[in-house]
Structure 1
Amino acid sequence: MGFKSLLFVFAIFFGILSMNAQTVVFSEDFETLPLDMTSSGSGTWDRTDMLYAGGAYSDTSVVTLAGTTYLTTNSFSTAGNYQVLLEFDQICKIEFFDAGKIEYSIDGGTNWYELTTTEYTGSGSFTSNKFTSQ
């Protein structure tokens, strides 16, 4: 049986990315189109009003069998900020062999790195660098 992964780059219900002294360099609340992100991979992302946090909309995706889908923000700079904090609300409704990962890039998208369990300070189940159905 294949392992199907669902990669979230700045997860569903993306909240706010904020910096030192609470400087917000990127925010997406899914309320206004067009969104400041793109989708790619085998699944499609669509704005929905079925599940949401704070506003009336969120972004959701259905992933094909053995597929991978990405939701990627437009590039932005955090230069000059000492600490970077990523805040978001998310729900991963996934099956047993699926996973949701958060990746970030520090070079404009040439290379991507997974958010690690050590860096994650949320309350959701995030083990082995991913959200799972467990």
Structure 2
Amino acid sequence: MVRALAQGTFDLLHPGHVHYLEEAADMGDELYVIVARRSNVTHKRPPLLDGRQRRDVVAALEVVDRALLGHEEDIFVPIERIEPDVIVLGHDQHHDDEGIERALAERGITCEVRRASPREPDYDDELLSTGRIIERVCERRC
């Protein structure tokens, strides 16, 4: 049984997230998803929604076998517990693939690191970015 692992913030779930998780699920027999805690989101603005709420929305997707919140201090703790065969990164996630592979090797975790493909918009006005969704809401509602 091949265990795939995806991770992300998943604030305001959108079709780009769904594409990423569906592709990650196709890379294994089981899909685990780690939802980042607000305190660990340092590369962009913090998520609007609480971590438990984001986790529950991700867990509701049919392709997800288990969703859990990340560890507050060490992002590799859940990876050690899950023991994935493949870690699937989103096409635009800020992570350094080689850096992750080195950190995994240092911890004795043997798994492959892959990138998901981008999802192109199906139509001109489709938004595939949480930031762009927030901008649109502010333009139209603020």
The TM-score range, normalised by the shorter chain, is: 0.3 to 0.5
Q: TM-score, normalised by structure 1?
A: 0.34
The structure whose residues are more often strand, as a share, is 1
- Structure holding more helix per residue: 2
The TM-score, its normalising length taken from structure 2, stands at 0.33
